[in-house]
Amino acid sequence: MSQLVVEERACIGCGRCQIACPMGVIVCGENGIAGADETNAEVCIHCGQCVAACPAGAISLEAPTDAELLEELADYGIDPLPARPGDQEPAEPGPFPTPEQFDSLVRARRTIRDYRVEPVGHDVIEHLVHQVLTFAPTGHNIRGLKTVVVEGRERIDQLTDLSIPYFAQLAQDPSCHSFDRKVFARIVSAWRANRIDRVFRTGHQAMFTYCSTSIPPREPAVLLNLAYFQLAALTRGIGTAWAGYFMIVANEPPIKQFLGVSPGESIHGAVIFGYPRWSFPRTPARPDIPLRYLSAHQEENR
Ligand SMILES: Cc1cc2nc3c(=O)[nH]c(=O)nc-3n(C[C@H](O)[C@H](O)[C@H](O)COP(=O)(O)O)c2cc1C
């Protein structure tokens, strides 16, 4: 149930909360004063959009009790986490990166496949996970994503060792595309012959994001989460690479067990990270993304 409280005397009747609420829980009356629609309150997803949007600070959203959360989220198999202090503080006014800074951040990101041994500190990892990734969007504001970081070449090697037999099988699997079979065979032979790791490259740290299999829109949520991680990491000089090959075998039982992921959970993203051994002096050319508009203007011109 919604724990939404509108302080009517403070409400200025701007209606922003009604527009911001994704679930139609807030309805402004004829006088514009906001109120929670009792019949819709049960679909409140506690996203805090109403609180964040209100210019008058008239709305507060009490964190549901653990019992209420448990009841609501049990179907999704999520361990509820209490809201943290500060969640309803005024939004940070910035400073934000300028458009030019953001654009160059995106353009400068390269997949890094060669890493220094020096690890990214836990303080940095924890800041990124708790202060940045926590704010990435999830469908229905369900949250529930979990992260495990594997550290040190010894552990990464163990994970590669666990993956190789599956790649060996896939290299022989006629249902796989012939190009993929070649790639899988190369992964296997490079590791077996020379301990060259084409799965985790020369990484010493990798982040794996997983969640309960009952969370409905989980793949896009994980991909967004790790995309945020890639960009936020880059601002700290940390390079990243999607471990897409690993994802092909990530949910094999021994691998899940190694990563401490339970049978009711599945892994949806893996990113290698660390300090790059060298930097890229040039930006590669990219084919343009075709762009079309389907607008009223175009309709009129038909
Ligand atoms: C979903 C996904 C999976 C990927 N998997 C791998 C991978 O397993 N190994 C790897 O070295 N790079 C992987 N990459 C990196 C791509 O090869 C890389 O993004 C692409 O070649 C463009 O290079 P750039 O990232 O430097 O712009 C993956 C990228 C994506 C988006």
- Tell me which residue has its CA closest to atom 8 in ligand 1: 244
Distance (Å, rounded) from C-alpha 174 to C-alpha 180? 10
Contact 22, 45 (CB under 8 A): yes
pLDDT band at 131 (very low <50, low <70, confident <90, very high): very high
Distance (Å, rounded) from C-alpha 154 to C-alpha 30? 66
Distance (Å, rounded) from C-alpha 39 to C-alpha 185? 58
What sign has the CA pseudo-torsion 19, 224, 150, 124?
negative
- Is the beta carbon of 245 within 6 A of some atom in ligand 1? yes
CA of 221 from ligand 1 middle (Å) equals 18
Q: How far is CA 135 from CA 53, 54, 143, 247, in A?
A: 16, 19, 10, 24
CA of 231 from ligand 1 middle (Å) equals 14
The tens digit of pLDDT for each residue in 227-272 reads 999 999 999 999 999 999 999 999 999 999 999 999 999 999 999 9
**Taking Cα atoms as reference points, which of 228, 201, 224, 198 lies closest to residue 211?**
224
What is the layout of strands, in order, in the sheet containing 239-242?
146-151, 205-212, 265-274, 239-242
Pocket test for ligand 1, best of 242, 245, 272, 286 (most atoms within 8 A of CB): 242
Is residue 301 pLDDT above 70, yes or no?
no
CA of 167 from ligand 1 middle (Å) equals 18
CA of 206 from ligand 1 middle (Å) equals 14
Question: What residue ranges define each of the domains in the chain, with the CATH number in brackets?
Answer: 4-62 (3.30.70.20), 103-274 (3.40.109.10)
Secondary element (H or E) of residue 300: helix 296-300
Distance (Å, rounded) from C-alpha 28 to C-alpha 54? 13
- Is the beta carbon of 243 within 6 A of some atom in ligand 1? yes
CA of 200 from ligand 1 middle (Å) equals 12
CA of 111 from ligand 1 middle (Å) equals 6
The tens digit of pLDDT for each residue in 199-230 reads 999 999 999 999 999 888 899 999 999 999 99
Average pLDDT score over the chain: 89
Backbone angles phi, psi at 15, to 5 degrees: 80, 5
Distance (Å, rounded) from C-alpha 60 to C-alpha 249? 45
Distance (Å, rounded) from C-alpha 142 to C-alpha 80? 10
- Is the beta carbon of 242 within 6 A of some atom in ligand 1? yes
The tens digit of pLDDT for each residue in 137-161 reads 998 888 889 999 999 999 999 999 9
In this prediction, residue 84 carries a pLDDT of 57
Q: Which atom of ligand 1 is nearest to the CA of 246?
A: 8
SS3 10: coil
Q: Which atom of ligand 1 is nearest to the CA of 113?
A: 11
pTM of the model: 0.86
- Residue 94 is which amino acid? G
Distance (Å, rounded) from C-alpha 169 to C-alpha 179? 15
Q: At what angle do helices 153-171 and 178-194 cross, to 10 degrees?
A: 140
- Residue 293 is which amino acid? Y
Q: Residue length, the chain?
A: 302
Structure tokens, 78: 């999520």
Distance (Å, rounded) from C-alpha 41 to C-alpha 276? 49
- Is the beta carbon of 111 within 6 A of some atom in ligand 1? yes
